[in-house]
Chain A
């Protein structure tokens, strides 16, 4: 194992691999920051450029861009309450309140450090689990998928500061929206409003851009002033305090990284679930669960550590079985094949040096991105001091361009605009945009896995409870709900609190 590792390291440090590493990292960072773009689009755009490249250089470029995306997405989540990518959504819950309190550099310090360490954790686990990957990946079947989504749904109704009932209503609306589109189980196209636009469902990216970025722009413009009413006095010491915060909370970091890695391994589960489940677990196990959603450091650590750790996890089924762990991995797998790299035994034996090259490039780009984030945290914090009337048009332009760029569809721009109005209404009346977005993401997975489970079952509905992991997830679900009721008590119908937090 040492020889291919050293070969990969030598390759990574040689010219022009280093150049591709830097370019990929920067490219990924930019695509992570801009709402709507993210890792999948970054890879899709880079793939044709790698066509004539040496396969190893191509792997470095693609992996490095992937490494840059995750932390990039947290920057916009913290600065403008808009997740750069769907898996950064939970970062908004505490990251943005920190920015509003004038603690942007600290939040970015926490995010950068959690991201880098989370990625190292996830990739470390990936390497260690390679020999045992098969059993872990194969343990998750449709019943487990179903419960995972239900746990995710329970989580969204209980996290944040919004009241429980409004959280449920928001999630319910999200579920309904998530059911739009062609449903292969019954060969049915549902709720398409007489157009073909919704055939493959509501695209999550315009929905996120609308619900978060556009809604935020409308809200900020109606209020005026700056994002942070507190004048920022951030300097390097604030950023470094953020770094230290992560080391002060090792339990939250390790637990969230582990959750991120495990959920990342489950094909189809997706980063957003990892992000929210980790956040929820961090809240439930915290000594101060009531502080979550108010700009609490453990919230940022939990969300970001899981977000970056999940990439290591989702690589596992991709490289072992050629079964992509996420949509981004589908494109990365396409890149492998384009360059003649076969997943499976070949990649784990003859081409092990290529696998290590991929892991090292991901690792270094994650670290590089975080170093860049730490270096420029104070300058980024200044952005929260720019008057909203100057900042908002830029966010509007970038967001709508991002919405258009996904499918070069004006329909996506329109959809983002509609979600912008919905998002503003949610903000105005205290409903949870986070709950809605996760409802949209989880609805198709929950429905599909439910039907699959019922079809494959020999024991009727008992299959949902008799498998060990299913039973474990049911226990987690019950504990989540019980602790939510216990901690929140009469807050169930409290109408005074806001949906997503401040």
Chain B
């Protein structure tokens, strides 16, 4: 019997379904099927990005390159990442809690709570420093001062660090905004302002501390950094709330990335960070690596939102 039109339609539908399923299956298996764009930003983020660009391809299931793109600023970059296709071919860094602060306080498009979080690279806590020849030589001196001027880039994690530290340690503070970390630290060295807060990985901060131009009065790290082994930790000083307050480098992708692709990316990123050559690179550069998976990264983001929302009114008072 000749097939009817309905039979033909049924057959075509079934065939299409099989082909479609096959295609989808292949897409998942073949991931990644083109280069991965990596939004890398500047400074130490750029150094890490270059390292991932070099070593991550060796840990991906398919042979592709990781191409680092450098957006002009954090907000533009995060908006770009947020809007990108969720096919796993665009990933990038987020700066936490700096990007969280921008999201909560500014009118930005991106929403970090919708991101697909892939991995945590490292978190380094902040330290508070003054010029070596400053009139202030302890936290008590800062607390006793009428007003302590801090330098920090506007809307940055460093600014948040100054504000929260002043609040927790009861310092009457004022934040003077400078263009970036280099300008902020230069302002302390010149004596334009009294103090600043950055991680010890920030190049001008590290240089200034190593050269005895800046004295760290307190660090929020659990252990003092190697460049200032005698500095008091916030835990020792009784300000536990500040302990581990720092800048986290986490890797995310746009919202809605397929579970299977997420898993491939997270595994590849963790494998890369745990590989001996990446560890060797980090040792050579004196940069920390603390790999953590999606769950830990998502928790860190939630904590950052809680922190910023907790201090939102204080932050707004400083603006």
The reply on B6 being an interface residue by CB < 8 A is no
Q: Is the CB of B43 within 8 A of A142?
A: no
Q: Is the CB of B189 within 8 A of A321?
A: yes
User: Contacts A48-B50, A268-B183: A344 and B211 contacting too (C-beta < 8 A)?
Assistant: yes
Q: Is the CB of B203 within 8 A of A333?
A: yes
Q: Is the CB of A456 within 8 A of B176?
A: yes
State how many angstroms separate the Cβ of B153 from the closest Cβ of chain A.
Answer: 6
The reply on B46 being an interface residue by CB < 8 A is yes
Report which A residues bind B (CB closer than 8 A): 44, 47-48, 51-52, 137-138, 140-142, 182-187, 189, 196-197, 199-200, 203, 267-268, 317, 321-324, 330, 333-334, 337-338, 340, 342-346, 407-408, 448, 451-452, 455-456
A198 to chain B: closest residue by CB: B76
Q: Is the CB of B208 within 8 A of A456?
A: no
Q: Is the CB of B210 within 8 A of A344?
A: yes
Could you jot down 6 A-B contacts, CB within 8 Å? A184-B156, A196-B76, A199-B73, A268-B183, A408-B69, A452-B187
The reply on B105 being an interface residue by CB < 8 A is yes
State how many angstroms separate the Cβ of A255 from the closest Cβ of chain B.
Answer: 27
Whole-angstrom distance between the alpha carbons of A183 and B285 in the complex?
33
Whole-angstrom distance between the alpha carbons of A321 and B211 in the complex?
9
State how many angstroms separate the Cβ of B249 from the closest Cβ of chain A.
Answer: 15
State how many angstroms separate the Cβ of B226 from the closest Cβ of chain A.
Answer: 13
Whole-angstrom distance between the alpha carbons of A186 and B159 in the complex?
13
Counting chain A CB atoms within 10 Å of each CB, which of B43, B44, B70, B207 scores highest?
B207
Q: A52, A140, A321, A334: which contacts B208 (Cβ < 8 A)? A: A321
State how many angstroms separate the Cβ of A412 from the closest Cβ of chain B.
Answer: 10
Counting chain B CB atoms within 10 Å of each CB, which of A141, A203, A268, A456 scores highest?
A456
Interface string of B161-177 (1 = CB under 8 A from A): 00000000000001011
Whole-angstrom distance between the alpha carbons of A274 and B46 in the complex?
29
State how many angstroms separate the Cβ of B36 from the closest Cβ of chain A.
Answer: 15
Whole-angstrom distance between the alpha carbons of A119 and B204 in the complex?
26
State how many angstroms separate the Cβ of A501 from the closest Cβ of chain B.
Answer: 33
Q: A183, A199, A456: which contacts B192 (Cβ < 8 A)? A: A456
Q: Is the CB of A456 within 8 A of B193?
A: yes
Interface string of B85-111 (1 = CB under 8 A from A): 000000000000000000001111100
Q: Which residues of A contact B3 (CB under 8 A)?
A: none
Q: B43, B178, B186, B207: which contacts A344 (Cβ < 8 A)? A: B207
Within 8 A of A (CB), among B53-76: 53-54, 68-73, 75-76
Whole-angstrom distance between the alpha carbons of A182 and B156 in the complex?
13
The reply on B257 being an interface residue by CB < 8 A is no
The reply on B190 being an interface residue by CB < 8 A is yes
Q: Which residues of A contact B108 (CB under 8 A)?
A: 196
Q: Is the CB of A322 within 8 A of B182?
A: yes
- Nearest 10 interchain pairs by C-beta: A184-B154, A322-B207, A344-B207, A200-B73, A323-B182, A200-B72, A322-B204, A184-B177, A322-B203, A345-B211
Q: A51, A142, A322, A448: which contacts B50 (Cβ < 8 A)? A: A51
The reply on B291 being an interface residue by CB < 8 A is no
Q: A330, A407, A408, A455: which contacts B42 (Cβ < 8 A)? A: A330
User: Contacts A184-B154, A323-B185: A334 and B72 contacting too (C-beta < 8 A)?
Assistant: no
State how many angstroms separate the Cβ of B231 from the closest Cβ of chain A.
Answer: 19
Whole-angstrom distance between the alpha carbons of A44 and B210 in the complex?
28
Q: Is the CB of A343 within 8 A of B192?
A: no
Whole-angstrom distance between the alpha carbons of A269 and B73 in the complex?
20
Q: Is the CB of B71 within 8 A of A407?
A: yes
Instruction: Please give 11 more A-B residue pairs, beta carbons under 8 A apart, in addition to A51-B54, A342-B207.
Output: A142-B192, A186-B154, A187-B154, A199-B73, A199-B75, A321-B208, A321-B213, A330-B182, A334-B47, A346-B210, A451-B177
